[in-house]
Each structure stands twice: as structure tokens, then as C-alpha cells.
Amino acid sequence: MTKVLLFTQKTCSACATQKEKTEGIEDEFPDVEFREVDIQRDLDIAEEYGVQKTPTTLIYSDGEQVAEFIGIVERDELEGTIRTVKNEQSSLTQRLVEFVRG
């Protein structure tokens, strides 16, 4: 499963810009989990992921971090990264199926 975490805080103008740039992106990837984490409210989660600056966007594939963007990331770059991660997952799944089938 692919998960995208966006770390923000209320006093961060770049965070507001990032949210505007990626508004509605979850509709394009219905099988990807998107979560916004306010580091002031959820400091323990930010610490768990080692996030110190906002905005920070982390992408996870099957529990493993595969991408990190610190600062504003353009929508097309984020979409491209998500597609790449999903394609790699599909490719791995297909190879495993072929291996099991012999």
C-alpha cells in the first residue's frame, strides 16, 4: 500500500501553498492513503517520522519510506513520484505471482 504524509503547521505560509497545489490529489489516487499531520498538534507523530521542517511530504510503500520532499513540491512531481511507486509495487506483485506459479 502507498501512503503519503504531508506534515504542516498552522503558522506556515509555505504549507498553505503546498495544500493549494495538491488540493484534490487524493481523488486521482483513490487507492493511496493521504494524511495531513499538524506537527504542533501531533508532535509525537512528527518526531516518530523525524520531521523537523514544514512542509514535508513523505511517501511510503508497504511501510518503507521511498521519497521525501522538504519544502514545496510541485503537483506534477508529486503525482509522478506516486505513479512510479505504484508501478514498482505492481511490477513486484506481478513478479511474485509469476515466481509462485513457477
Domains and CATH numbers, the chain: 2-101 (3.40.30.10)
User: Minimal CA–CA distance to 74: which of 5, 3, 7, 14?
Assistant: 14
CB-facing half-sphere around the CA of 3: CA atoms within 13 A: 11
**Paired strand residues for 34:** 4
Strand order in the sheet with 64-70: 33-38, 2-8, 56-61, 64-70
The per-residue pLDDT for 87 is: 84
pLDDT digits over 12-37, tens only?
999 999 999 999 999 999 999 999 99
> In this predicted model, which residue has the larger pLDDT, 8 or 95?
8
The per-residue pLDDT for 81 is: 96
pLDDT digits over 62-98, tens only?
999 999 999 999 999 999 999 999 888 665 555 555 6
The per-residue pLDDT for 94 is: 59
